[in-house]
């Protein structure tokens, strides 16, 4: 012991540059990771009594959204997922972490409008009021052609089915005692989207040639559709708000599972250090969504786009109100609904 004490007393930290180099590297890595992790949700308030529906609940970001909402004392989470097994595993995790939060697993396949309608019927039978709807499910590089309803997969799964779900749940959201909130999860990639023909804002006549383009278009449709709905709800005097957000670039989720490049092991190994350094964790990716659901300061905020928990301007194309209105009407028609604008009600055209 005496020898160790003596060695420490005589040690000269300035004899080598290595301690400084190592400390510098650790500092730079820590700073980059903190910066790239984005701004955390600025409020930590609880939301007791709230009933919240989350699509894509078992995905990387959706799971973290559910965990945080359960921690914040949501009364009931409706976990919309593709299989009961996935939902039950998440329900069990949430039961351990937040035993007072009731979790209900409900199956929905966003590739089918019938499945969305079944999901909503079941939900409406049990919950006359819903406080928030988080449309978090999404796909990119999805293989396969069109859905059984005849739409491009990204368009239907990311946008049209969420559009239908939102429209059908409008009465339940309007009954929320806390002011219903709709949160759509878009992506930065929406800025790369193109709509060549304004008479065909859903690109039905000219479908995208690649999964990336189809994804970008579906995420632009989310932003435009969200702004159009926000305008309509405000005009009707409805207290329900609707906003969308980008979670940022998030590692460790299933999002790139169908990416042709990321399927290769060498690509995974090569990109891992960069993803670890420059991308958010799923929990960090959930922050903006959690803020939009929980922050009382955003009670009257509607029709906006959020990134890193802050409101940001959208692209010129996404600000085009006339295009947003065209897209909204085309979407109603695509999902088989008609809106009686005067009465502010949505009625099924066919069922
Ligand atoms: N990760 C990123 O860097 C990133 C960047 C920008 C935007 N986003 C958006 O963030 C959201 C969450 O993505 P993530 O990263 O958490 O990806 P993820 O782990 O793949 O989660 C996506 C979720 O959507 C569900 N889903 C996919 N197809 C569905 C369908 N047909 N019906 C019902 N549910 C379906 C998935 O369920 P299954 O597990 O059953 O397939 C999964 O739960 C998506 O909207 C995504 O576009 C992510």
Do 72 and 293 touch, CB atoms closer than 8 A?
no
> What does each of the 351 residues of the chain score in pLDDT, given as a tens digit?
788 888 778 777 677 888 889 999 999 999 989 889 998 998 899 999 999 999 999 999 999 999 999 999 999 999 999 999 999 999 999 999 999 999 999 999 999 999 999 999 999 999 999 999 999 999 999 887 899 999 999 999 999 999 999 999 999 999 999 999 999 999 999 999 999 999 999 999 988 889 999 999 999 999 999 999 999 999 999 999 999 999 999 999 999 999 888 888 888 888 998 999 999 999 999 999 999 999 999 999 999 999 999 999 999 999 999 999 999 999 999 999 987 643 445 555 544
Report how far residue 333's alpha carbon sits from residue 272's, in angstroms, rounded to the nearest whole number: 43
- 87 Cβ closer than 6 Å to some ligand 1 atom: no
Q: How far is the CA of 64 from the centre of ligand 1 (A)?
A: 12
Which atom belonging to ligand 1 lies closest to the Cα atom of 83?
A: 40
Do 225 and 328 touch, CB atoms closer than 8 A?
yes
Residue nearest to atom 8 of ligand 1 (CA): 187
Report how far residue 302's alpha carbon sits from residue 239's, in angstroms, rounded to the nearest whole number: 10
- 63 Cβ closer than 6 Å to some ligand 1 atom: no
Which atom belonging to ligand 1 lies closest to the Cα atom of 186?
A: 7
* pLDDT attached to residue 339: 76
Do 204 and 149 touch, CB atoms closer than 8 A?
no
- 283 Cβ closer than 6 Å to some ligand 1 atom: no
Report how far residue 265's alpha carbon sits from residue 263's, in angstroms, rounded to the nearest whole number: 6
- 136 Cβ closer than 6 Å to some ligand 1 atom: yes
**Ligand 1 mutation target, pool 107, 253, 305, most atoms within 8 A of CB:** 253
């Amino acid at each position: 012991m005496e020898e160790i004490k003596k060695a420490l007393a005589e040690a000269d930290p300035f004899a080598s540059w290595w301690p400084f180099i190592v400390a510098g590297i650790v500092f730079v890595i820590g700073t980059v990771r903190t910066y790239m992790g984005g701004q955390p949700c600025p409020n930590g308030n609880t939301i007791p009594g709230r009933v919240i529906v989350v699509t894509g609940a078992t995905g990387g970001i959706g799971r973290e959204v559910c965990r945080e909402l359960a921690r914040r004392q949501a009364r009931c989470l409706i976990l919309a997922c593709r299989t009961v097994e996935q939902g039950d595993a998440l329900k069990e995790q949430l039961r351990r972490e937040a035993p007072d939060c009731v979790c209900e697993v409900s199956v929905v396949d966003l590739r089918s409008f019938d499945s969305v309608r079944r999901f909503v019927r079941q939900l409406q039978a049990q919950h006359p009021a819903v406080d928030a709807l988080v449309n978090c499910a999404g796909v990119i590089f999805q293989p396969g052609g069109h859905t059984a309803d005849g739409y491009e997969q990204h368009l239907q799964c990311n946008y049209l089915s969420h559009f239908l779900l939102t429209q059908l749940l409008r009465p339940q959201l309007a009954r929320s005692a806390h002011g219903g909130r709709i949160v759509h999860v878009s992506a930065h990639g929406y800025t790369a989207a193109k709509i060549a023909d304004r008479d065909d804002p859903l690109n039905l006549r000219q479908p995208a040639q690649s999964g990336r383009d189809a994804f970008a278009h579906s995420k632009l449709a989310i932003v435009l559709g969200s702004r159009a709905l926000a305008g309509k709800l405000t005009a009707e005097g409805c207290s329900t708000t609707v906003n969308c957000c980008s979670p940022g670039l998030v590692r460790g989720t299933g999002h790139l599972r169908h990416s042709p490049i990321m399927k290769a092991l060498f690509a995974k190994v090569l990109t891992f250090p960069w993803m670890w350094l420059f991308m958010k964790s799923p929990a960090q990716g959930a922050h903006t969504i959690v803020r939009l659901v929980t922050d009382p300061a955003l009670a009257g905020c509607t029709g906006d786009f959020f990134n890193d928990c802050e409101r940001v301007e959208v692209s010129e194309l996404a600000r085009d109100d006339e295009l947003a209105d065209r897209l909204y009407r085309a979407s109603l028609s695509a999902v088989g609904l008609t809106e009686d604008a005067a009465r502010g009600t949505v009625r099924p055209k066919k069922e």
